[in-house]
Structure formats: C-alpha cells, structure tokens
Structure 1
Amino acid sequence: MKNRKPPFEITNPMIDSVAEIAELVGNLTAANPYSANPTLRRVHRIRTIHSSLAIEQNTLSLEQVTAVLNGKHVLAPPKDIAEVKNAYEVYEHLDQLDPYSVDDLLTAHGILTRGLVEESGVFRTRPVGVVDHEGHILHFGTLPQYVPDLMTELLDWARTSEIHMLIRSCVFHYELELIHPFADGNGRIGRLWHTLLLSNWNPAFAWLPVESIIHDRQQEYYAAINASNDQGESTVFIEFMLSAIKASLIEVISTRDEMSDAPKDKPMLRWKTIEAYLKTHDHIMNAEVRELCGVSAATANRILSQLSQEGKLVKCRVHGHWAYRLAE
C-alpha cells in the first residue's frame, strides 16, 4: 500500500509555534514537582475528561465528573456517567497503548464506547454524514469499505513521517476526523490519540489538559475543521491546535509559577496547592493535605485550621468525618 502523505502546508506560524512549544515543554519539565504530584495530575486528568466529553454534549459538570470518579452517586443520565467512567479507564491506560497500532486504536474505541454504541471497538459498517449542531451536513465520511485501509495507511504515515511530532499529531487528529472511521466517538478518540502521540514525544502531555483549552475555544475548533475541509488540507486545523497546545502549556506553567513565586512563603504555596485541588473537589480532608503538601497529620490539621481562621476554608462534616470546603 502506498504511504500517502496527507495534504497540508508547513507555515511560518506553525514553525514559530513548534519552537515556542518546545521551549515551554523544556520549562515545564526541567524541574517541576507540580507535574509529578499524583493528586494534581489526577486533577488535570479529570479536567481533560470533563472537557473532551463536554465538547460532545455530555451534561456532567466538572464537579459531577469528579464525584463519579470518586465513586459517589450522581443524579445524571446513565449514558453520560458511563462515558465518564469509560474515558477515565482509557486515559489511565494511555501508557500501555501503541499509537501506531490499528488493534490498539480499536481497543481504545471499544473501552470509550463500551455499552454505549452498537459498533463499539470496530470500524463502522455504514456510510455516515457529519452534521453540525443545526443539522447541516458538513461532509460525508469515507465510505465504510475504504476505512480500514485508510486508517492503516494513516497510522503508518504517523509512524514513519519525519515531520515534527507536534505537527504530525495535529495532522493525524484532523485526518481521523475526516475519515470518520467509527459510528460514534470519533471526536473523543481523535483527541485521545492526539494526546497519545504527543505523550510518546514527551510524557508531560499524558496529563496536560489540552482538551480544556479546546473546550474553551470549541467554536474555533469546529471552525478550523470546517475551514480545513473547505480547503482540502489540514493547515488551518494544525495552526489552531498548536495554538491550543501552547495555551495549555502557558496556563499550567503560569499556575506553577504562581505557586512557587515565593518559595520561602510556605503558607501561600500550601494555600495555592489546596485551592487548586478544591477547584475539582467539593471538600478536602487531612489525608489529602498530607499528600498534597508532604506534611504530617498534625501539620495538616494546623494548615486547615489556619486557613479556616483566615476565612478561606469552611469546616464541614462529610460521612461523619471533619472536612473543609472553599468559603463562599
């Protein structure tokens, strides 16, 4: 099979973005305990899942997604809850997936859509048209009989291309959406595989919440796809995605720098860490503070008590235990 290069142009804005992103990644990974913290990594992972599913009209809020993943009962459509659990399972096994394997792509789709669609974990067998929110047909996906060969060819191109992975992963993302290989879940699998390709280039991307930037700029995301469709090449989409990746890195680095501006000011650093945690959790207990701040149980109690006295936290009871939540 001929390994066709997908159509796109490498532009000056792309080259500039790649250089800036590489520099930002270096900044992020040089000495960043923030990214190594398992609790904060989980916060990023939850943001990623919430954003990727919200783009596809999942109704759960960030707080509800967090509650579901913490094993709590949430009043929401069962389908939306299942999407959250499935997505979390896939993202948690990201490092076990081969980004160039057709089998792994199908396996990941099978987990993402388990119990939700008829053709789960297999390429679609019927023609499909891609429509916008108003029901207008944007384009027709590839005829189903050509999908397996085109996806194999695309994965082979991604594996063998010498183009920088930052650009290559964007091209793959766009081309997958264009082929539309699955009956449902193409957006979710496209963003997942983009993250997987990038995390193979640099492990920091496994937890970087790029999807939250896409969610914030959802109309631009679809506009970039439509513009690329109209032009018959992915150039516009690549430029958009690189800008989203850059914005995500800047956000994470900015948060880290805010937390470490005054390294001697431990109370401020600890408060910033606890505040970041509480953005995706409705309360915090002594055990979480011990893990987040690396302190003893007694010190964790003192930190929580002090923040409560300062009016930043409010003490509450959760399942018979004392906890703290953000003050209104």
Structure 2
Amino acid sequence: MADITLRLPPTLAADAEEAAYALAGFDSYAAFRLGEGSHVLGPMSAVLLRTEATSSSQIEHLTVGARNLALETLHEGVSDNAAVVVGNVKAMESALKLGSEMTEANILAMHRALLMNQRGWEQQAGRYRDRLVWVGTDGYSPRGASHIAPQAELVPEAMKDLLAFIGRDDIPVMAQCAVAHAQFETIHPFADGNGRCGRALVHAVLRNKRMALHTTPPISAGLLRRTTAYFDALTAYRAGDARPIVEQFAEAARYAASSGRELVDVLVEQLDVARESLHGIRRDAAVWKVLPHLIAQPIINTRYLQDAVGLSKSQAERAVGVLAERGVLTQRSGRQRSVVWEHRGILDVLDDYAVGLRRG
C-alpha cells in the first residue's frame, strides 16, 4: 500500500474531491455559525462526535438512544449497549488526537479506549490480535466466512505499511480515507472492534489532512443509511476494486456535510429558545456557563456541573434550580433514586436524527 498507484476515473476523482471540500465547508460553517473559539463550539463538537460514535456503533447493531447514552456518561445508565457506545466515544476522542501524529502507538491507544468499556474484552484492548479472525460466520470456524483476515504475525508490518500510505499527500483526501479504511478492515488488526476503530481512523485522517479541524462530521451516519452497499464495497475492495468504497465514502461525506449543517442549526435553535427562557437572569450567573454544555450532555446532575463546568456545589444547585424553574430542564429519577435533569428538546433532536438514519 505504501507505494501503490491509485488510479481513479476522472469523474470519481472529481466526486471524491467535491465530497472532501463539502466536509471542509461544513467544518467552517460550524465554526462560523457558532463563532470560532466560542464556548458553544466545544460542546457542539462533542455532540457531533457522539452522534458519529453512535452511528458507527449502530452499523455493528449496537443501538442506543440519546437518553441512555447521556445517562451512561453520568454513570447513571443501566444499558450494556450504552456502555459499549461510550467506549466508542472515547475511541473517537482518541482518534482525533491521533490525527496530529499518525503512529502505531496512537492507533493502539485508540483501540484501548474502545475496548476497555466492553465487558470481557479488556485483556485484548490496545493489542494486535494473536489469532486468526474472520467476518461473516460464527466464531467457531471460518468456513463460509465472507472474509478471512491475514495471519496474526503479518499484522504489525501490514499496519506499518498502511500508516505509510496514510502519510502520503499525493492522493485525493476522500479517496485516501476510503482506501485506508478498507485496507484497515481487510487487515482486521484486532480481536474485536475493527469496524468501529476503522471508521474512527477516517476522522484521524481528516484531522491530519486539515479537512475537519473543529468538528466530527457524521460520516458513519451516511454509511449507516446504506449498510449493504457499504459492506458490498468492502468485499469488492478485497477483490481488487477500490471504486465502490470510494463512491460510498464520497456519498457518505456529502450526507455528513448536509445533515451536519441541519443538526447544528436545530441544536442552536434549542439553545436560542433556552436563552429566551432565561431572559432577565444576570449575565454573570452560573446558569449561562451551563447552557452550552446541555448540547453535549442533555442530561445533567450537580456532580457533572462541578466536574465538567467547574462550578461549586452551591453554584451547581442554583443553576439547575433556575433552569428547572424556567422550564429549560425537567427533573427525572436516575439510577438508585438519584436526581438528574434533562433537556427534552435536545434529546428529541438527537433521537429524531437517529430515526431518520434508520429510515434511510
């Protein structure tokens, strides 16, 4: 892979470039819409990252709603799937750090972040596999598998070769993302979590190539809309045809850019409604610090506000009291009768986005 000549039909090369610039345009739009350096941009980036992590997990049939994911982040969840998806969120966060330095150690750190939250797989976290793996059949035999990955002893060199390919700057970025992802899935370097890690790797490449500096565009959301075509494209790649996977990623990138803009807009609308509800509250009140965090974490408790926002216990209590009194938050019971407060509008926006993906 390090020195391969990637020849794309001119129309596909142009399509891939157009898709990459659509992603860059979305990234710039989010920064412009929110204000680069704004206290809202960070939480918005976080919720886009969680949206991407959730979509990527859903491709692996790990489905979790926005409420369960937010509860799990507060350690108030009761869903095993939510705990696994939180691991995927951490892997995505690690992938963005990988973007600044594409090294083998950072890829292993990304995998460690993913699998440490997955019960029974902790010993495999952050390590290349030491066994044969395959795709498309039961776990006992590769007979009938759609793909049998290379022998375990070939993985380290194959990954070094892949990283050399990613380091090149003579390939259209979206095509490079697609091929790097497909090669990663072909190597299947880990005992579990390869799909989610491979999709997270795409964001590391986009960050590395400076196509997405502020946000995490929901590319997996685009792939989720046509999972059969996505898996068929991976199969075609393994047979020597890279065109379908580049086409799938170009289409997914365009969807990520357009739907990402819509998602940013409707979440900002929710913030604007909340600001109107808080009319008359003095500008130095702690409640204004809390408000943007509701995008990334639409269910909160006072402990979260102390840890994430830096409020004192009394400030946190006053802030949630004001937000509840003004109708921005609704009180709910968490696990073991603890009290949490949720922003129903933001939860509905995130769940509606997920439902739209499942409809295709």
2:88 paired with 1:87: yes
Match of 1:106 among 96, 101, 108: 108
Q: Which blocks of at least 5 consecutive residues in structure 2 are unaligned?
A: 278-290, 310-317, 349-360
Between the aligned partners of 2:20 and 2:114, the Cα distance in structure 1 is 29
Q: String of CA shifts for 1:93-142, please: whole Å, max 9, x gaps.
A: 44432553112112221221225154332222222222169995112111
- Output aligned runs, 1:219-234, within 5 Å: 219-230=228-239, 232-234=240-242
Q: Tell me what 1:33 maps to.
A: 34
Alignment length, in residue pairs? 305
TM-score normalised by the chain length of structure 2: 0.68
Q: Tell me what 2:344 maps to.
A: 325
CA contact (8 A) 1:4 1:153 kept: no
Q: Tell me what 2:65 maps to.
A: 61
**Structure 2 CA distance for partners of 1:270 and 1:28, relative to 1, 3 Å:** farther
Q: Tell me what 1:181 maps to.
A: 189
**Structure 2 CA distance for partners of 1:181 and 1:157, relative to 1, 3 Å:** same
**Structure 2 CA distance for partners of 1:269 and 1:155, relative to 1, 3 Å:** same
Between the aligned partners of 2:7 and 2:275, the Cα distance in structure 1 is 45
- Larger mean Cα displacement after TM superposition, 2-11 or 63-72: 2-11
Q: Tell me what 2:51 maps to.
A: 47
CA contact (8 A) 2:134 2:145 kept: yes
Root-mean-square deviation (CA, aligned residues, Å) is: 4.1
- Larger mean Cα displacement after TM superposition, 58-67 or 185-194: 58-67
Q: Tell me what 2:357 maps to.
A: none
Match of 2:134 among 117, 129, 135: 129
Q: Tell me what 1:171 maps to.
A: 179
Please state whether the residue corresponding to 1:207 is helix, strand or coil.
coil
**Structure 2 CA distance for partners of 1:138 and 1:173, relative to 1, 3 Å:** same
Between the aligned partners of 1:153 and 1:70, the Cα distance in structure 2 is 40
Q: String of CA shifts for 1:156-209, please: whole Å, max 9, x gaps.
A: 121134112222121110111111122211111101111111012233475222
- Output aligned runs, 1:182-197, within 5 Å: 182-197=190-205
- Larger mean Cα displacement after TM superposition, 88-97 or 119-128: 88-97
- Output aligned runs, 1:1-328, within 5 Å: 3-5=2-4, 9-23=8-22, 25-26=24-25, 28-29=27-28, 31-33=32-34, 37=40, 38-72=42-76, 74-77=77-80, 80-97=81-98, 98-114=100-116, 116=121, 118-131=123-136, 136-202=144-210, 203-204=212-213, 206-230=215-239, 232-256=240-264, 281=298, 316=331, 325-326=344-345
Q: Which amino acid aligns with 2:110?
A: A
Q: Which amino acid aligns with 2:103?
A: S
Q: String of CA shifts for 1:228-283, please: whole Å, max 9, x gaps.
A: 334x132210110111011111112234456889xxxx659979xx9xx6898468
